[in-house]
Structures are given as structure tokens and as C-alpha cells.
């Protein structure tokens, strides 16, 4: 009889500390599944930043050359006409590019959400491929957490790079450069600060909820795009109401009635009567042929008023808006996890 010695005994399987079915394991699978989308997002980000660098360098060079000529924008003589046209064309292109970047950052959250609603979540629930992952010791909650974590990391990284590029791209000496976008303009405001990050995460959350709720790829993607688009439109419409405006009033004989910084965001303006009433049209009800001075006398107008946001309100507005978006994103994600547990245990 042959006796097995310890040296002849079968080798035991080496134990590891890695636990199967963790969120990290599932995240690796998600990253491999959608690496093509990740490469596309990275390429888009690199191309956008590269375009900003090239155009900013080119426009700054034209501006320096124009300054060296001693010409001004108002000088359109034969000597300065060509230099003025070249300078304005460069500044116009630089301004348009920053507008395009803002539009891109406003559109990307809908793209992120559509990706979550379709390829990441909705398609797997619709086709039943999620059962393979769940059969390998990955719980539904961990599966959904991994599905959300990987795109969230990619979205935040791309947004960070693009918002940093947008802040760098905006010229410092704005008063000396034509076509500079106002800080409160929808495209520039939407490409700076914390709002782009909050909106990107909101888009992901809405897409996750739509994918879990509808479990149909096309329907979930469409619902996500419509929802995020409506929210973006609502942001532009109601943003000025998120923080109290400041009031500026001036007398009628003031030579410069808008005697506050030109970068202020005027939300409402009009006339002030002797009793303190604010009106927009002093000629209201007095007839179309009444001249404005007569209307002001008849309405007992004593001055002008302006409700405005100074540039110092940029961060309060950004933080309030971001807080609302992040709160809505948390609610959407919580509902998505609750629905997943209810539907699939």
C-alpha cells in the first residue's frame, strides 16, 4: 500500500483576502464593459481643452499685435481698418468657443444620464443579463452601486478638467476685451463653479432611476434626456431667484442712473414714484401718443430703480443651485435603490 507523505499531498488552494462580489470587483467589470465610452469621453475632453489652448494663444497673440499698433476699435481709418477687423474677428472666435464649451457642459449631463438609463442599467434589466452578475455573489445593491460609481467618477473627472479649462480660458482683463461673456450668461455661468458637477451627478441619478423604473432602454433614455433638458431650462429661467437681489435707486437728474458696476446682473428695472411704488411703464394707460416725459410727470416719477446681482453673488447663487441639484440627485438615487430592492429582492 502506498502511503502519501506530506510532500506528496495535493497542494491546497492559496487563500486570498479578496472577497468575491464586492463593489470594487463589480466596478472593474463595469469599467471593462464600457471602456469604449470612457475613451470617447476622454478624447472629447482632450479635444475641447486643446481647442481652448490653441484659440486662446492665437487670440492673445492678435490682441498683443493690435495693442502694439496703437489703434483703437473705434478707429476704422484705412491705416487701422485691417488691424481692427483682425482683432475683432479673433475676439469673436474666442468668445464663440467659450460659448460652445458652456453648451457642451450643459449638454453632457443629459448624455451621462442617457448612458445610465440605456447601456449601463436599462439594457441589462431589459435583456436579463443582470442575472449573470447577481448569480456570482454580487447583490443587486452592489451591482447598481458599481454601475453608478464608474460613470460618476468619469463624469466628475471630465467636468473638473473642462471647468478648470473654462476658468483659465476667460481673459483676466475683461474690460479691455470685446465680446467677453458676462459671468451671469447661461453658457459661461454653466461652465464655471460647482453647478456643472452637480448637474452631471443629477443627470446620472435621473438616468439610474429611469433605467430601474422603466427597464426599457429607449424609453428610459428618452425620459432622461427630456427630464434633464427641462431642468437645465428651469435653471436658466429661475436662477436669478435663488439669492436675494440688491436694490439700487437713483434720482432722475443723475447723469449715470446705473451707477453700479457694469458686470451686475440686472433682473428688473424701472421707475420709482413719489410714494415709493416701482413701475416698469410710466405711460401705462395714458395712451400711446403720450411722450415719456409727460408720462413721468403724470405718474409722479421721482427716480429710477434697478434690482441686480453684483458679481459677488456668483458663489452664493452657485452653491444654492448646486445644493438643490445634489439633493434631487440623492433622492433619485435613493428611490432607484429602493425600487431595485422591491422588484428584485
pLDDT tens string 206-227: 999 999 998 888 999 999 999 9
Q: What pTM does this model have?
A: 0.83
Rounded percentage of the chain residues whose pLDDT exceeds 90? 37
pLDDT at position 13: 39
Cα separation of 170 and 179, whole Å?
A: 11
In the predicted structure, residue 12 carries a pLDDT above the cut 50: no
Give the C-alpha distances (Å, rounded to integers) separating 140 from 102, 143, 288: 37, 5, 68
pLDDT at position 17: 44
Cα separation of 168 and 181, whole Å?
A: 14
Q: Model confidence over 65-112: pLDDT tens digits?
A: 887 887 777 766 677 778 888 888 888 888 899 999 999 999 999 999
pLDDT at position 15: 40
Q: How do the residues of the chain divide into helix, strand and coil, expressed in percent and rounded to 5?
A: 65, 10, 30
Q: Are strands 278-279 and 301-309 parallel, antiparallel or unpaired?
A: unpaired
Quickly state the pLDDT bin for 9 (edges 50, 70, 90).
very low
**Which residues have CB under 8 Å from 50's CB, separation 6+?**
none
Q: Model confidence over 287-322: pLDDT tens digits?
A: 665 677 787 877 788 888 888 899 899 999 999 999
The rounded mean pLDDT for the chain is: 82
Amino acid at each position: 500500500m502506498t502511503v502519501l507523505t506530506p510532500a506528496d499531498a495535493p497542494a491546497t488552494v492559496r487563500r486570498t483576502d479578496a472577497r468575491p462580489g464586492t463593489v470594487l470587483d463589480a466596478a472593474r467589470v463595469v469599467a471593462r464593459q464600457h471602456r469604449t465610452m470612457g475613451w470617447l469621453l476622454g478624447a472629447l475632453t482632450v479635444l475641447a481643452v486643446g481647442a481652448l489652448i490653441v484659440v486662446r494663444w492665437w487670440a492673445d497673440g492678435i490682441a498683443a499685435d493690435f495693442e502694439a499698433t496703437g489703434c483703437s476699435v473705434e478707429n476704422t481709418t484705412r491705416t487701422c481698418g485691417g488691424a481692427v477687423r483682425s482683432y475683432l474677428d479673433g475676439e469673436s472666435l474666442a468668445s464663440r468657443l467659450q460659448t460652445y464649451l458652456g453648451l457642451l457642459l450643459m449638454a453632457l449631463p443629459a448624455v451621462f444620464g442617457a448612458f445610465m438609463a440605456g447601456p449601463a442599467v436599462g439594457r441589462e434589466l431589459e435583456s436579463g443579463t443582470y442575472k449573470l452578475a447577481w448569480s456570482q455573489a454580487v447583490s443587486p445593491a452592489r451591482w447598481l452601486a458599481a454601475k453608478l460609481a464608474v460613470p460618476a467618477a468619469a463624469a466628475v473627472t471630465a467636468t473638473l478638467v473642462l471647468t478648470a479649462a473654462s476658468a483659465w480660458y476667460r481673459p483676466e482683463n475683461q474690460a479691455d476685451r470685446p465680446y467677453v461673456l458676462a459671468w451671469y450668461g447661461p453658457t459661461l455661468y454653466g461652465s464655471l463653479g460647482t453647478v456643472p458637477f452637480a448637474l452631471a451627478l443629477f443627470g446620472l441619478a435621473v438616468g439610474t432611476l429611469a433605467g430601474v423604473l422603466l427597464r426599457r432602454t429607449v424609453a428610459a433614455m428618452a425620459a432622461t434626456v427630456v427630464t434633464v433638458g427641462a431642468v437645465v431650462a428651469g435653471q436658466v429661467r429661475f436662477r436669478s431667484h435663488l439669492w436675494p437681489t440688491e436694490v439700487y435707486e437713483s434720482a432722475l437728474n443723475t447723469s449715470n442712473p446705473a451707477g453700479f458696476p457694469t458686470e451686475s446682473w440686472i433682473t428688473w428695472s424701472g421707475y420709482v414714484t413719489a410714494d415709493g411704488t416701482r413701475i416698469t411703464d410710466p405711460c401705462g394707460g395714458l395712451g400711446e401718443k403720450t411722450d415719456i416725459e409727460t408720462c413721468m410727470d403724470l405718474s409722479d416719477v421721482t427716480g429710477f430703480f434697478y434690482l441686480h446681482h453684483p458679481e459677488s453673488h456668483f458663489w452664493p447663487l452657485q452653491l444654492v443651485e448646486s445644493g438643490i441639484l445634489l439633493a434631487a440627485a440623492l433622492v433619485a438615487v435613493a428611490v432607484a435603490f429602493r425600487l431595485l430592492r422591491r422588484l428584485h429582492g
